[in-house]
Amino acid sequence: MNPARLAKLSASLRTFQPASGQVAGLDALALNPCPSLVYLTGLHFHLMERPVVALFTPDDDPVIILPELEMLKVAGLPVHAFPYGENPAEWQAVFRRAVESLGLDGKRIGVEPRALRLLEFRYLQAAAPAAAFPDASETVSRLRVRKDAGEVAAMRKAVQIAQSALEATLPSIKVGMSEKEIAGELVIQLLRHGSQSEMPFAPIVSGGPNGANPHAGPSDRALQPGDLLVIDWGAACDGYISDLTRTFAVGEVEAEYAKIHHIVQEANAAGRAAAKPGVPCAEVDIAARAVIERAGYGPYFTHRTGHGIGMEGHEDPYMRGDNMQILEPGMAFTVEPGIYLPGKNGVRIEDDVVITETGAECLSDMPREIRVVG
């Protein structure tokens, strides 16, 4: 359990006013196994057919509904546990007793729609039929969006692991290797260099025309001379992640491909330079996008400039041109402009940035210039 974070949550439940303009706060927060539950309690459960739900209120110790086989995880912790056995017919009654212990029927129980499954939600709804279940995403985001020194240190280490792993992978890349073979070697190197086994995402390795798809999965396509090779990868350390992208040349590439690589490199630098405390997230996107638009490739930059990182690969804040959320010290995010030419090649260069009291620190420093592999 993290008493400081739980205290902040309690204060947020009392004072938070939903974005809809309603003045009522939240009477409770319900979380199933997800990063927010780990953030508040340090408890790790995996999603399975047996539901796990924790209920947090402003004035009580947390209540947790869980399988009997998981009870050792909460032994000695300041929680009220409501365990259940293997018979699903008995689970609803346990949920009802847990909800009744906090008097939550008819109250406002906040949930995270991105994380809470229909499985858990139906048990909660049946246990508290008169309750409302508003979206509490903003409540939780406000707790997690500003990283403390320990969180930043874990992300910095995750960046170092990722960079070292890719540097160890690059010498093995040859013309004729498949994207899957490169991705497999990179995963091995990530583990060898210290990443947790549960990585933030499977590496994206895409060459030639596949690189024009920003989220292409590694395929059996073999690298060919003249390809650009996009590698988007990350590592996990102490529950926090890194998310990086570099684009390489497979031998000599056409002049236009070298040109768009340079443009994206400049856009990446412009986005990082725009990141400062007190600046809207939109300014980071606008600065990076302007470089690409001035060069005539605006239609080929098809996504936002970045997204928040921390315990998850995608979280607040988001670097979109319409997002006026103000950057504050401790906020961490990616800067990842790209140019994608359908049927030809693609380029993306991505770095991890954290806002400081006076500016921004780029956690990643792997060379961004075009490098030849193969």
Q: What is the pLDDT of residue 23?
A: 36
Nearest-10 crossing angle of helices 255-274, 281-294: 160
**Amino acid identity, residue 230?**
V
H or E, element range at 347: strand 345-348
Domain count, the chain: 2
Rounded CA-CA distance 343/357 in Å is: 44
Which residues lie across from 240 on neighbouring strands?
Answer: 237
132, 181: one domain: no
Nearest to 204 by CA among 190, 185, 217, 221: 217
Give the domain-ending residue among 144, 165, 192.
Answer: 144
Judge if 94 and 39 occupy the same domain.
Answer: yes
Place of tokens 């405390």: 277
Predicted local confidence at residue 17, as pLDDT: 52
Query: What DSSP element (H or E) covers 163?
Result: helix 149-169
Whether 138 and 159 map to the same domain: the answer is no
| Side-chain half-sphere exposure of 176, counting CA atoms within 13 A | 1
Q: For the CA atoms of 123, 127, 133, 137, what is the dihedral angle to 10 degrees? A: -50
Q: For residues 8-30, b (16+ Cβ closer than 10 Å) or e, as one string? A: ebbebbeebebeeeeeebbbbbb
Same domain for 178 and 318?
yes
Identify whether the C-beta of residue 34 lies closer than 8 Å to the C-beta of residue 76.
Answer: no
366 lies in the same domain as 250: yes
Q: How many helices (H) and strands (E) does the chain have?
A: 9, 18
- Picking from 94, 117, 144, the residue at the C-terminal end of a domain is 144
- Could you check whether the bond before residue 317 is cis, i.e. omega within 30 degrees of 0? yes
Q: Give the pLDDT of residue 74.
A: 96
Do residue 115 and residue 179 come from a single domain?
Answer: no
User: Which of 45, 1, 53 has the alpha carbon at shortest distance from 29?
Assistant: 53
The reply to whether 246 and 222 lie within a common domain is yes
Q: Which tokens belong to 299?
A: 């239609």
Q: Residue 44: count other Cβ atoms within 10 Å of its Cβ.
A: 11
pTM higher than the cut 0.85: yes
For 326, the token pair is 């103000």
Report CA-CA distances (Å) from 333 to 9, 86, 95, 328, 363. 23, 42, 37, 12, 10
| Tokens 């600046």 -> residue | 279
What is d(CA 330, CA 358) in angstroms, rounded to the nearest whole number?
A: 11
Q: Do both 307 and 220 map to the same domain?
A: yes
3-state helix, strand, coil in the chain (%, to 5): 35, 20, 40
CATH number of the domain enclosing 262 = 3.90.230.10
Picking from 82, 115, 144, the residue at the C-terminal end of a domain is 144
pLDDT, averaged per 10 consecutive residues of the chain (374 residues), comes to: 92 66 73 96 94 96 97 96 97 98 96 95 97 93 95 98 98 97 98 96 97 95 97 97 98 97 98 98 98 98 98 96 97 98 97 97 97 94
pLDDT for 25 equals 82
For residue 163, the one-letter residue type is Q
Asked whether residue 139 falls in the same domain as residue 154, the answer is no
Statement to judge: residues 69 and 198 lie in one domain: no
Query: Cα dihedral sign for 160, 157, 193, 186?
Result: negative
Half-sphere exposure of 4 (CA within 13 A, CB side): 2
- Is there a contact between 65 and 99 (Cβ–Cβ < 8 Å)? no
Q: What is the largest CA-CA distance in the chain?
A: 69
**Residue 129 sits in which domain range?**
3-144
Q: Is there a single domain that holds both residue 298 and residue 158?
A: yes
Supply the pLDDT for residue 13: 87
CA distance 99 to 251: 63
Stretch (H or E) spanning 247 = strand 244-250
Structure tokens at 135: 């979206």
CATH number for the domain spanning 117: value is 3.40.350.10
Q: Looking at the structure, do residues 196 and 237 belong to the same domain, yes or no?
A: yes
Inter-residue contact 226 to 175 (CB < 8 Å) = no
The answer to whether residues 292 and 263 touch, using CB atoms and an 8 Å cutoff, is yes
